[in-house]
Structure formats: C-alpha cells, structure tokens
A and B are shown apart, each in its own frame.
Chain A
Amino acid sequence: MTSSTLSTQRPPFYRDTRTIAIMLQVLFLLVVLLIGWFLYNNMVTRLAAGNTAAGGALSWGFLGQTAGFGISEGPTFRPEESYGRAYLVGVINTLRVGIVGVILATVLGLLAGIARVSNNWLLSKLAMVYVEIFRSTPLLVQLLFWYVGVIAALPPIQEAAPLGDLGYLTNRGMYLTWIFPSETGRALTWWLLGGVIVGVMVAWLRRRQLERAGVPGSGVMAGFAAFVLVLVIGFLVALGASQMPTTTTYELRRGDRGALFEDINGNGAFDLNVDRPLAYVPITLYGADGQVVASGMTNGDGAFRFIDLPAEATRLEWTTPAPLVVSEPQRQGFNFSGGISVTPEFAALLLALVVYTGAFIAEIVRAGINAVNKGQWEASRALGLSTGATLRMVVLPQALRVIIPPLTSQYLNLVKNSSLAIAVGYPDLFNVSRTIVNQTGAEVQGILLVMATYLTFSLITSLFMNWYNKRVALVER
C-alpha cells in the first residue's frame, strides 16, 4: 500500500525541502567564495611580483603623492597638488556632465516621445527619424561626429560673431555671459546650500502636514518658496554687509596684468595659499600721468590682464562690487576673458550623451503613454479637456509609473557612458584615472577606484528613483 510507505515522521535531512533549500544556498555561496578567493589570490601574487611606483600590493599611498600634471578644465587644479585631488577633480567633471546631461536628456526625450505619439504626421515622423538615427548608431561615433564634424566647424575665435549679449560660439568653445558671486557675495554659496536644505525640509514637513490632514498634494511649492526666501535673505544680508577687506592690496606687473588680493600676511606681495584673491571686483588702471588707461573686473582668481593698453598702468583703484555681478566675455588677443566658458570637449560630450540618451528616453516615454488605457483619453476628452490638458493632467502622471524604472536605467547609462570622455580628452574621472595609472602603475587600485565611484553614483541614482517611483505609485485598496 502506498500510504504505508510514506511516513508522517520527520523526513531525513536530505529529503527535507527546508534543509535542501538551505544546503543549496550554502553550496552556491561556497562556490562563489572559492572563485573570488582564487581571483584575489592570483591578483595579489602578481602584484607582489611586479614592481610599481605605487608601492606594494594594493597600496593606496600613491593618492597622496604629487600629481605633476595639469587638468584642462573643472575646479582649479595645479600640478603640485596630489593624485587624490586630481581624481576628485575628475569626479566633479563627471558629475558636471552627468547631472546636466540627465536633465537635458529628460527634457529632449519627453518632447520627442510626446511628438512620436502625436496626431501631427510630420512631427511624429520627424521624431521617429531622430529616434531611429541616434538609437541605431554607436555613441562613440556620434561623440566624434559632434566633436570633429560640428564643433570643430564653428568659426575660429578671431572671426566669432557675438550672439547678442549672450556670448560667442567658436571652435575653441562657447563663451557665455554669466552671473557670478563677487568678493562681497562669497557667503551666497553657503546661503544657496542652506536654501536647498531648508527647502527640502519645508517640503517634507508640508507634505507630512498635508498627509495628517488627509489632503493629497505635494510640498514642492512650499519647499521652493522657502528656498527662494532663503536666497533673497542671503542676498540682502550680503548687500547690507558688502565691504572690501581692509588689507586689500594689488600687484601690478608689466603695466597690464596682476592680481587683487587680501594681504593676510601683510608683506605686500601675493603668496599662493596664504593670501586670498578677490573675485569679480571692478578695477580701474591709471597711467603715470593720472589718466585712466583701462577699466574692467578681476576674474574668479582675483587676477586681471589687459591687452594692447595705450600706456603702461602704474596705479590701480577698486570699488566695492555688488554681491552678484554679470560678467560678459570679452575678446582679448587669441582668447576670451570674463563670462563662463564651455570647452569643445565638454560641449561635444554633453551633446552626444543628451542626443543619444534622449532617443532612448523618447521610446520609453512613448511606451509609457501607450500603456495608459484608451478609456482615460476618452473620459478626459468627454469632459471637455483639450489634448494638451489631457496629456499633462491625466495621461503623463499615469505613464510615469511605467516610465520610471527604465528611465532609471537610462540615467545610469548616461553617467556610465560619460567615460567615453577619454575619446575627446574631456578630463572626467576615468580619463584622469588613466593618467594617474600611467604615471604610478597602480593599475588595480585605479580600476577599483573607478568602479567603486561609478557604483556609488549608480546606487544613489537608483535609491532616489525607487523612492520617487513609490511616491507616484497608484493607491489601491
């Protein structure tokens, strides 16, 4: 009889489903650990055998050594600073192109995705052509296309025509009019940071308050208002307290260049890392006969330089600037001074990443819109809402649920693809890490550092997007 052979007793461990599940997992873990140990052991042995400037196996001491190379853009970096700081500059450059790229790619993708589902035949076909072209060609090829084919074809600096008051487009980069905090507005950076923190807190509190009251809604408006309020207060405080340091001194060399700085050690000369340069201060240069020979503004490093002066200057006067100043790019010989400049490398990389990722985002947006039930369109149109209002208030908020998870992947792709910067020489973290590795031989450390950094970026992005996805999820039951 069957019933007699199948016992109700506790089964032997090798037939117990629970122990089988645990044993399989333990086995899997053992295999993984074994492979990992083998790889690690292999690497350490090879590293010990090798002789690199980085020292022994997996030593991180090289990060403190002097770099000895310059970095073409990003935060100020001097060759006498350390490898560690060089890497940090690379990280910031990656973040610069990554954050701006994610924002622009989202806007482009959203517009192209909506155009793709529109009833306007021409618009929809144009969007289709855009998506198909840029989705189907390699990113590296596109990057070189923008760099060599588009940006290098812009006029040279000598021939660049101004774009109104906005700035100049040249084959050496874009030079744009920009607003900077001046010497008296130094604290504004902190106010900005404080504004963001206060804004986020107010938004969070407002949302909690709304939730308690049982009213749906977001705290974004309240948070934004708090942010703006903090900034305005910061500006007014800076304006009220605006004063130049009492020990302001200047250095004037060769009658046309020099620096304006706070003479902290009181020796009358500018000492790097001791004296503090004064940024964006209006200055006037006077010649030996008391005539004005030039006027302008110091740059972000407190330095100034004039070209083709009618006479050599011997004296300088400065005035107290407003906390925020507008700086326009001005042609000076073979270059521009003032304003903000965007290098051809940054522009090409940003363009390539935005246009390429935008094509993928467009497809995601299209899929999201198509995923919304046709009945939602009908109900909204039957109520008299226009197509645009229907899209904005009914369809897109629901499409977001479908859009966000694949959109997260595209954001991660954009940040990771920014490592192609090395092809055009933009000093992102990967590019800088290669230079470091070439000089120190710390190959393994370099790769580990780069991987850990990208992993950190990706995890932070994923966490944020998952949180956002939960927020827009539909309430059921």
Chain B
Amino acid sequence: MAGHAEDADIIIAKNVNKWYGEFHALKNVSLTVKRREVVVIIGPSGSGKSTFIRTINRLEEHQSGDIVVDGIPLTRDVRNIEAIRMETGMVFQQFNLFPHLTVMQNITLAPIHVRKMKKQEAEARAMQLLERVGIPEQAQKYPGQLSGGQQQRVAIARALAMQPKIMLFDEPTSALDPEMIREVLEVMEELAESGMTMVVVTHEMGFAKGVADRIVFMDSGEIVEIGTPDHFFTNPQHDRTKLFLQQILK
C-alpha cells in the first residue's frame, strides 16, 4: 500500500463554503470519513446535502475550505481532479445512464477509455459486476428497455467498474417506484458489507438505521449533528433534528 493509503481518514473536508450568487449553500461544512465507513447524510430538501457530496468529486466547485480525498488535495489542478474522480464512483438520483449505449457499453466505456483496459477484460469484469447486482441477462439491452430499479443497479455497476475506493450516492432511490427501492438498497447493503467506503445522501431511514456507521444531519447548509444511528434516532441533541425526525417518522 502507498504511504497515504495507511491513513484511516479517506475523505477530509474542512470548513467548506459554497455560494450560489448571494445564496450561502454550504456553511463551514467539516466532515471526516474513515476507510470502510458508511456515512449517511440526511436532512430536509435544500439543506445542501447533495451540494456537499457533489463538491467531493468536483461536480460542484467550493469557494473556500479544504477537501482531501485519499491523500489527494482537491485543487484547481486538472490532474488532481481527474485522480480523485478515478478514486470515487458516483450514483445519481436520475441514474444518468448513457441511453445510446447498451448496458455493457455503459459499464465498459470508462474502464476502456480512462483506465485503458482491454475490451475483453473490461467486458468480463462488467459481467461479474452485473452478476453482483443481479441482472447479467440485461447486458445487451439499452437503458430505455430496463425498469428504474434495474437502471440504478446498472449505474452502480458502472461506477464500480472503475474500481473506486469511495462510492458517493446522491439520493439513489428518490426517483424510483416504491416496489423497486428494495432491490437497489439490497445492492447497497451488500456493497457496505464488502467494506466499501460509502457516503450516501438518502431519505431511506431504514437503510440509515441498518447500514450507516454514522449519520450526518444537515440543515440550511450546515452540519447540525453527527452521531451513530442508535444515538441519532433515539436521543437526538438538537431541536432541528428532533423536528425533522418527528416530521418523517410520524
């Protein structure tokens, strides 16, 4: 293992601030994620959860504060940004599969063109990943021919194909029909058990309770409270957390 890989902390965010014009979207957000840890971020809509997770791989640029991912400081340097993007996989609310490519091509595109993997090797690995997410028979179909749950599982396989050290999930089940949420959560649970470092923005409290090592509650661009699931759900400290929990657990 390389020197920095020994560090326990794989994501370090310190005093991260972001403005959209006048709007202060992230206010001094600081969070450290350890290797193999599963961190779930919850909070009301507009609280900055998605914005924060998207600053980690520079889909959003932050204006002040420091972010270090696996020892690589996130600067304006293109090489650093691309190195961090290769280390982090991302799963989106709207899946964002490439509709003009088959499932197989969706998964092998980045390994072939970014990691310069041989096509056959990439396809063999893609088949393994499709088996892992439970839909190997869909390999030659196009995204438009799959259900929402199947599409999101392909999106997870696509992110995993780059062999990332961290997986970021931005509300992965919010766009799904209720009967399909389960199949996606099961894949995520299996991934968490395998020891993947995960940062998950979600409204699935069941998943947060069962899988998270720590839960982060954000509101109005700030981290209000961080705690273990037990602590968080049974004994929240802040009034805002209590109010939020009351509203969703009614």
Contact = CB atoms under 8 A, between A and B. Distances in A.
Given A216-B105, A475-B145, A384 B85 contact: yes
B113 A379 contact: no
Contact of B144 (A385, A393, A476): A476
Interface in A351-391: 373, 375-376, 378-386, 389
Q: How large is the interface on B (under 10, 10 to 19, 20 to 34, 35 or more residues)?
A: 20 to 34
Contacts of A398: 98-100
B233 interface: no
A381 B159 CA distance: 12
A118 to B, nearest CB: 15
Contacts of B57: 382
B100 to A, nearest CB: 5
A387 to B, nearest CB: 10
A383 B158 contact: yes
A475 B142 contact: yes
Contact of A474 (B92, B94, B99, B159): B99
Given A384-B162, A476-B144, A477-B144, A379 B98 contact: yes
A24 interface: no
A381 B60 CA distance: 12
B85 A382 contact: yes
B92 A214 contact: no
A236 B85 CA distance: 52
Contacts of A380: 98
A386 B79 CA distance: 11
A452 B200 CA distance: 64
Interface string B112-156: 011000000000000000000000000010101100000000010
B109 interface: yes
A53 interface: no
Contacts of B94: 373, 375
B8 to A, nearest CB: 25
A384 B86 contact: yes
B54 to A, nearest CB: 8
A474 B113 contact: no
Contacts of B5: none
Contacts of B85: 381-384
Given A384-B110, A385-B113, A215 B140 contact: yes
Nearest to A396: B100
A394 interface: yes
Interface in A398-412: 398
B96 interface: yes
Interface string A302-316: 000000000000000
A145 B159 CA distance: 54
A373 B105 contact: no
B96 A373 contact: yes
B82 interface: yes
Contacts of A215: 140
A55 B162 CA distance: 78
Contacts, number: 74
Contacts of B98: 376, 379-380, 394, 398
Interface residues of A, number: 25
A194 interface: no
A378 B96 contact: yes
B102 interface: yes
Contacts of A300: none
A381 B59 contact: yes
Given A475-B145, A476-B144, A476-B145, A382 B99 contact: no
B84 to A, nearest CB: 9
A397 interface: yes
Nearest to A392: B113
Count chain A CB atoms within 10 A of each CB in B85, B88, B90, B99 and give the residue with the most: B99
Interface in B69-105: 82, 85-86, 88-90, 92, 94, 96-100, 102, 105
Most buried by B among A382, A386, A397, A472: A382
Given A215-B140, A216-B102, A475-B144, A385 B110 contact: yes
B145 A383 contact: no
Contacts of A386: 82
Nearest to A378: B59
Nearest to A216: B102
Nearest to B93: A375
A476 B159 CA distance: 23
| Of B98, B114, B142, most A-chain CB atoms within 10 Å | B98
B142 A379 contact: no
A474 B144 contact: yes
B92 A375 contact: yes
Nearest to A379: B96
Given A375-B94, A378-B59, A383 B109 contact: yes
Contact of A383 (B100, B102, B114, B142): B114
13 contacts: A373-B96, A376-B96, A378-B92, A379-B92, A379-B155, A382-B159, A383-B162, A389-B114, A394-B98, A397-B100, A474-B100, A474-B144, A476-B145
Interface of A: 214-216, 373, 375-376, 378-386, 389, 393-394, 397-398, 472, 474-477
Interface of B: 57, 59, 82, 85-86, 88-90, 92, 94, 96-100, 102, 105, 109-110, 113-114, 140, 142, 144-145, 155, 158-159, 162
- A-B pairs, top 9 by smallest CB distance, nearest first, are A379-B96, A476-B144, A383-B110, A475-B142, A375-B96, A382-B90, A384-B85, A384-B114, A384-B86
